[in-house]
Amino acid sequence: MIQDFKNKTAVLTGAGSGFGLECARIGAARGMNLVMVDVQQDALDKAEAEIKATGVKVLARRVDVSDADQMAALADEVQKTFGAPHFVFNNAGVGSGGLIWENSVKDWEWVLGVNLWGVVHGVRLFTPMMLAAAKADPGYQGHIVNTASMAGLLTAPNMGIYNVSKHAVVSLSETLYQDLKLVTDQIGASVLCPYFVPTGISQSQRNRPDAMADEKPTQSQLIGQAMGEKAVSSGKVSAAEVAGMVFHAIGADQFYIYSHPKALGNAQQRFDAIVAGTNPVDPFAARPDIGEALRAQLRKG
């Protein structure tokens, strides 16, 4: 667990906004070297200028985290510039809704590419560097945090492609935690499972690849996007508060990071049904009005 962050290096994907930017702000306040990564150049430029103004060392790069070659080049540059990082925040993510059979191959490739493969690349590239640093220096301490979602513990309807990506990140992160425990006591891991927090993820469509420009969203996808924007924008817990939770978890060697612990009641119901072998529970049991409205919208025409 990292206790002293000064002059340590953090790699943050999705650093142009949301949790990534807020973690960069905390890292800067604690005197860290910051590697800021985002696919949206204008947001990255603005974030880079803000963090550089604090006086810390910043390496900002526009990178598509789903691209293996771009991520490999990033890892190589981080190694040459700062050496092995101490904190890796595999955080970049996009949101996407709609009935699961209506998602195109390009939809799947985009969402899984960013949400899952981005984490895969971060783990496979930076973990060996961190392990080498730990072997060379008994005082080295590192931590990897992967951003999943409460959607990684639940299966809300009309957002299946997102659920699939986030369930995979939870599984990957739990396995990473166990694998690290087999080989080192110097590197920890956590998974961040936020619920509805106002960030830019509800406007993910702005960063859809050009190859998807000719794809028109289906009715269920439009409904899912509208519901997602409403839910995210109404969140009462801020991205800055969640970033504070991330740094607390790093210092406390805490694996699961929840922005809304009360939402775990829904996860408990799901796991109880799994253990009992009963059919999946009604996700709208507590808010039947939402379920009725969604069914009515989807059954039109």
**Residue 18 vs residues 44, 91, 259, 273: alpha-carbon distances, Å:** 12, 10, 14, 34
- What's the confidence (pLDDT) of residue 230? 72
Helix (H) or strand (E) holding 106: helix 105-112
- What's the confidence (pLDDT) of residue 210? 66
**Residues designated as active site:** 162
Order of strands, sheet of 9-13, starting from the edge strand that comes earlier in the sequence:
58-62, 33-38, 9-13, 87-90, 142-147, 187-193, 256-258
CATH 3.40.50.720: does it fit domain 9-263? yes
- What's the confidence (pLDDT) of residue 87? 98
Q: At what angle do helices 288-298 and 219-233 cross, to 10 degrees?
A: 150
Q: What is the DSSP code (8-state) at residue 89?
A: E
Query: Is 222 buried (19+), middle (13-18) or exposed (0-12) by CB count in 10 A?
Result: middle
Per-position pLDDT tens, the chain of length 301 = 788 999 999 999 999 999 999 999 999 999 999 999 999 999 999 999 999 999 999 999 999 999 999 999 999 999 999 999 999 999 999 988 899 999 999 999 999 999 999 999 999 999 999 999 999 999 999 999 999 999 999 999 999 999 999 999 999 999 999 999 999 999 999 999 999 776 655 455 556 666 666 778 888 888 888 777 776 666 678 999 999 999 999 999 999 999 999 889 999 999 999 999 999 999 888 888 888 888 998 988 5
Tokens of 116: 């899952």
- What's the confidence (pLDDT) of residue 199? 61
Tokens of 168: 């995979």
pLDDT digits (tens, 9 = 90+) for 71-81: 999 999 999 99
pLDDT digits (tens, 9 = 90+) for 257-290: 999 998 899 999 999 999 999 999 998 888 888 8
